[in-house]
Structure 1
């Protein structure tokens, strides 16, 4: 006799926070790049902003389990990643596009994304369909069988996005994803971000404040490895005045918050 399955058994796993950091410390070599950071993120598209050297890439690498925290606590999808935790289970539910990613030039687009799906331990039976869907979502279906070495810089970036989302990750980390994309491709990518953020926790590190204003539900601003401010894009736009640097309300809000933070530190 078949046993009845309850709704609780088939319901998706939920977590208090998809990403949760407490007093997080991460080193980049001998330098402390993330210094006592507190952060909590859930479903939605979150923009990660900050000047050069703020610690954005190091934070993304820690969230992607590439580097281990040097202090504090970090959990992803309910799994504690500090101490001697095994990150493999978390990695199956992660997608990560680093600022610079390596690839085999002779691989085709399809072969490369398939290879990354295999590294993420996806079941063999679902890989072909998942790869095709990922390639289509980034607008490269017509180049799926082209070798990586023949692609433009913008196309390579889109392949990087495809490999990051091939496993339908619950946490998606994108470090400067729009580098090399033309304006039309950037607009399409913003639409894709909004779609992904409906079911996943998406963190996008970028220098393009306008991308954050259009595509993100909220903003995380860091400087010198510390959290400066976190809030909605609408709240960010209200932080600045006409006297602050920037061509839009969002950029002026960004400038105002950095100026205020630096004033507090120097004072």
Structure 2
């Protein structure tokens, strides 16, 4: 979400919500897409006939540049509308023109790039995002404190955003994505700019979140998927090539395929021969 572009559009999303509105609910699938197509521009179908079901757990979204990963993430975040097919989030169809407020307040979203007021402190920015997400006013201070603690920024919470390094800004982005305790968490390249130690802590956070949240992490780092994800979604040319556990992806490759690890070799093998993976989903 880019604040500068969305503040006016999001401003209406601030009315009070009841406890019933935010009570937990069990779903067969948190995310379910059937024949989903999303067009970018006039011609290109960035998501092309996707059938995908995701439940609680950490799902790693892999694919080469231009595969359609970011378009898919933005569609699941309700930033883009489907061109064709159906999309259900938390049991609600989101393919039409509705606001889908009840769904949106249960989604956490970290785009590749997000805007912020540079004079905001970390705490003020995360508070503002909690307000946009309709977190009850009385709950915001505790929710913000918990979010900044989980990303290791409690000691920097009162520093201005403009003074932070790129990696710290990325961690603030993760904090705003989880401040509303989302049921669906969508993260687009969340480890970009993080140093190795921060990436390790982030993997631990993912594993914790995946116990009761449907987490979809788009990344180009296969090792992050191996370390933190229980499910891999391999995407290429707008289509699902593979979905399954990491060890199943690893078994698809051999010594003749490019990669420094079994998972990387499996990834390379399925990109070379997509039909090899189609029987797994």
The TM tier, using the shorter chain, reads: over 0.9
1:44 aligns with 2:57: yes
Aligned to 1:15: 27
Tell me the secondary structure at the aligned position of residue 126 of structure 1: helix
The yes-or-no answer on 1:220 pairing with 2:233 is yes
Q: How many residues align?
A: 254
Q: Is 2:68 aligned against 1:68?
A: no
TM-score, structure 2 length as denominator?
0.88
Question: 1:186-201 to 2 correspondence within 5 Å?
Answer: 186-201=199-214
1:210 is aligned, of 202, 216, 223, to 223
Q: How far, CA to CA, are the matches of 1:28 and 1:90 in structure 2?
A: 24
User: How well do the aligned residues superpose, as a CA RMSD in angstroms?
Assistant: 1.3
**Taking structure 1 as the reference length, what is the TM-score of the superposition?**
0.93
Deviation per residue, 1:178-216 (Å, 9 max, x gap): 000000000000000000000000000000000001100
Q: Judge conservation of contact 2:241–2:275 (CA < 8 Å) in 1.
A: no
How far off is 1:15 after superposition? 1.4
Q: Does residue 255 in structure 1 map to residue 263 in structure 2?
A: no
1:28 maps to 2:69: no
2:270–2:276 CA contact under 8 A, matched in 1:
no
Q: Among residues 192, 198, 223, which one is paired with 1:179 in the alignment?
A: 192
- In 2, the alpha carbon distance for the partners of 1:82 and 1:193 equals 28
Q: What residue ranges of structure 1 are gaps of 5+ in the alignment?
A: 1-10
Question: Hey, which bits of structure 1, 4+ residues long, moved more than 6 A?
Answer: none
User: Which among 38, 58, 70 is matched to residue 57 of structure 1?
Assistant: 70
Give the counterpart of 2:100 among 87, 105, 109: 87
Distance in 2 separating the partners of 1:207 and 1:63: 19
What SS class does the counterpart of residue 118 from structure 2 fall into? Answer: coil
